[in-house]
Structure 1
């Protein structure tokens, strides 16, 4: 079971929107050095919705090659069309990903039975560990715990990223699915508490900018050390909020740029962080001691 602090990795881009492969290498090395337990690539934070199919697969391919088995790579392969998601999942397996993360089909609003058949079809066709991803605030569809329990009976559906922020959801899924089914928080603000209640980790946006702190907090929470987890998380709380001041990944990409880790690139229809919000994100970075305000970046990997 993959556990701990997993980063929902931003996809670095140049100012013209082209993918920055050299920076991707730097980010991966940075996360390994900082102790991140695993990478989730080409997901929501990775701007999967604006990647071409070829780019999506290339991000997975390069990430797997660069990691070289040092930590798990989970590939985002969800789509609102079952056939597209099946193709992406099969390609991720062929490229060597350790697992896949499949978001609920967005926009077309399937029923619970439709969700069940969607995920079952992909799991039956591609023998790779698969993690469900429920984020109704973005998809307009909610994968209910009872449907998760049906899907958990399929051997290679091994867990869920639960991003509702509703703590009772985690307990309900655990009660229905048992201890061998992995539960990951997809909500940084409530991730610590969900892990203290028995979740296996967090797939985190905050981890992009604070990997070492997130690793320490997750280790403490998973081990039931509430005092240590709360102490560390208090340093991160402002980031958990301000990195969502505009839709993800707008704020976190600006924060990574402010830290000197990536260029400013982001793709339409997403736009760079509004000037009026930049001070809030900068303050959160300074509070977490990731930058010294109005100074040069604190952390910056070597150039590719």
Structure 2
């Protein structure tokens, strides 16, 4: 798989009773496809996979695959807290038509780099999929370190890394160390322009759920060589990015969908809905994009 373009890390819509709202899911997918996204990642961090049963996770993957078909790249989030469960979720994804998965280190276990290498190898041995590594140490508790990346640099089935550490120097070092051995995908939203300048070809983007128009404009301008225009689009988006990064990221992305005209419901506990003040702050920042 070639990782390119804007790939929304999808929210999971819930109805008033907290059940998955598949009709709204279809509406959200079509809304984004119509605006030119390159692909989707269901069941990533923004998708609240950790708050779902195994059956619900399978239903989400099935829904996205049935709606999207072959119209865009599809990368399944199959992460869990242990290798056995990751393999089970990856097997389910494969059966449902996903050939590529996004995998952060198992959370809470805090594996060493040696253990992390064994974890990824076990998944590769068990299921015939490609893997996009996901470095998000603030969530996983450990980093996908260079020792792990070295171990898979020549493995054609470990195709890239979503870099979400917030450390731009690490993204630059990935590009320097590995060149085309790993496809670099931006996972630090407020650094997207910098990532593309340093070799990223894709942006796996939570804010694209609701800021899809400016995100697509940014990508198209950068891809056309209009660096000044791309910078201007990022400058417009930056107040929203700063608001998102200040806390309650998933809740704010979901409320942003409401502001964009596609309400997707609230988050599941333990995440609480935004306060009215938090909603107003995000709405003010969002309004500035089109000002």
Q: TM-score with structure 1 length normalisation?
A: 0.91
- 1:297 is aligned to none
Aligned-residue offset at 1:98: 4.0
2: CA distance, partners of 1:216 / 1:52: 36
Q: How does 1:204-283 map to 2 (within 5 A)?
A: 204-222=205-223, 224-283=225-284
**What are the superposed Cα offsets for residues 102-149 of structure 1, whole Å, 9 maximum, x if unpaired?**
111111111011111111110122111210111011111111123212
Aligned-residue offset at 1:275: 2.1
Structure 2 residue ranges without an equivalent (≥5): none
Report if aligned partners of 2:138, 2:165 keep a CA contact under 8 Å in 1. Answer: yes
Consecutive aligned runs of 4 or more in structure 1 exceeding 6 Å deviation: none
Report if aligned partners of 1:37, 1:215 keep a CA contact under 8 Å in 2. Answer: no
Structure 1 residue ranges without an equivalent (≥5): 293-304
1:165 and 2:193 matched: no
1: CA distance, partners of 2:215 / 2:93: 27
Secondary structure, aligned partner of 2:81: coil
1:40 and 2:41 matched: yes
Secondary structure, aligned partner of 1:80: coil
Q: Which moved more, 1:280-289 or 1:222-231?
A: 222-231
Aligned-residue offset at 1:84: 0.5
- 2:108 is aligned to 107
Secondary structure, aligned partner of 1:41: coil
Report if aligned partners of 1:145, 1:172 keep a CA contact under 8 Å in 2. Answer: no
1: CA distance, partners of 2:190 / 2:152: 27
Secondary structure, aligned partner of 1:87: helix
Report if aligned partners of 1:149, 1:176 keep a CA contact under 8 Å in 2. Answer: no
Q: Which moved more, 1:10-19 or 1:175-184?
A: 175-184
Report if aligned partners of 1:120, 1:154 keep a CA contact under 8 Å in 2. Answer: no
1: CA distance, partners of 2:6 / 2:286: 19
**What are the superposed Cα offsets for residues 221-261 of structure 1, whole Å, 9 maximum, x if unpaired?**
35554212101111211121112333321111112123331
- 2:202 is aligned to 201
Report if aligned partners of 1:86, 1:122 keep a CA contact under 8 Å in 2. Answer: yes
Report if aligned partners of 1:146, 1:176 keep a CA contact under 8 Å in 2. Answer: no
Q: TM-score with structure 2 length normalisation?
A: 0.95
Q: CA RMSD in A?
A: 1.6
Identify if the C-alpha distance between structure 1 residues 179 and 263 changes in structure 2 by more than 3 Å, giving closer, same or farther: closer
2: CA distance, partners of 1:123 / 1:98: 12
- 1:299 is aligned to none
Report if aligned partners of 2:12, 2:264 keep a CA contact under 8 Å in 1. Answer: no
1: CA distance, partners of 2:260 / 2:175: 38
Identify if the C-alpha distance between structure 1 residues 67 and 226 changes in structure 2 by more than 3 Å, giving closer, same or farther: same
User: How many positions carry a matched residue from both structures?
Assistant: 290
Secondary structure, aligned partner of 1:282: helix
1:189 and 2:186 matched: no
